[in-house]
Structures are given as C-alpha cells and as structure tokens.
Amino acid sequence: MPTLETRCDDRLMTEADIPAVVAMERLACQLPVHAWTEDNYRSSIRAGYWMRVRQDRHSGRIVGVCVAMDGIDELHLLNIAVDVDFRGQGLARDLLALLYARCRARRAPCLWLEVRPSNERARALYLREGFADIGRRKGYYPAPEGREDAIVMRRLIDPIDMSPTSEVPHALD
C-alpha cells in the first residue's frame, strides 16, 4: 500500500485552491464556525504568509493545509487542517515538520500557535510534538454561543536536530 509520501505532494497554496481548501476544512472542523473562510485565505495569500497544501497525487484532492506567519525571530502557526479521510496517518505531523524546517532555515528558535481548549485532538498532537502551554487569550475564537478562549502554545526549535528543548528561556518567561 502506498504511503502518504508516495501518494501526496506538498506545494504552495494558490488562490485557485481556496474553494477546495475551505470545503475540506469545513468538514474537518468540529463545527463549521471553526473553519477559516475564503476571505481568511485570500488575505493570507495577499499578506505573503507561508501557505502549503498537501495534495493527493492521483486524484488531485487537497487533503491538508498549513498556514504560518514569519516573525522576526519566530514563526506563528495560523491554521492547519487535515481531511477527515486522511486523519491518523501522520499528515499533520508532516506539515508541522515542514514548519520546523522553516524555523531552522530562518533561524527562528520557536514556533507559536493558538488552539481551542475544545480541540482535544489538536492539543494532544501539539503536546506530543513538544509544544508547551504558555498562556490564554480570552474570547479569541468565534463559537456558536459567543466566543471561546485560545490556549497559547510554543515549541522551542533546536537548530541542529529540531528536538524540543526546555532549557532555552524566552523574554516572556
């Protein structure tokens, strides 16, 4: 059976991908209100954010998306989503690995993200990947009944082997 590496390609996201990405993400999210909109993706493309899709080589179907913003000495993961039919196959970890490599290439010692407390699957992945809770943003995300907080997480990036480290202090610590 082919692996994801032999079945899928990673490439830059384009404006033409937006409808397929939005449709995939809406099905992948716990609730449609959690998904990014076409306008979110368009503005990210205009801003020049790092945007990648993973596409099935045979069907052309987009099965994953990852969006990150470069900072001066950090990267910030803005959005990541995996097609429900491709979950549990390591695709999100592979997309995160691309971000770790980008951190190293840019000499950025950390990767930041926000995650909904209700998104237990994502939180578990981030904790396994070496992210640590740093703080909370009150009312950060839209929710069906108002707003939901965000847990702010950070993963320190070792420039040599990308393993998470806990000894490197940050200005906010």
Residues serving a catalytic function are 114, 126
Residues with Cβ within 8 Å of 58's Cβ and at least 6 positions away in sequence, in order, are: 7
Residue 74 burial by Cβ neighbours in a 10 Å radius (0-12, 13-18, 19+): middle
- Tell me the residue length of the chain: 173
Backbone angles phi, psi at 72, to 5 degrees: -65, -50
Own/partner pairs for 136-143, CB < 8 Å, 24+ apart? 140/114, 141/34, 141/114, 141/116, 142/33, 142/34, 143/31, 143/33
Maximum Cα–Cα distance for the chain, whole Å? 47
Q: Which residues partner with 155 through β-bridges?
A: 111
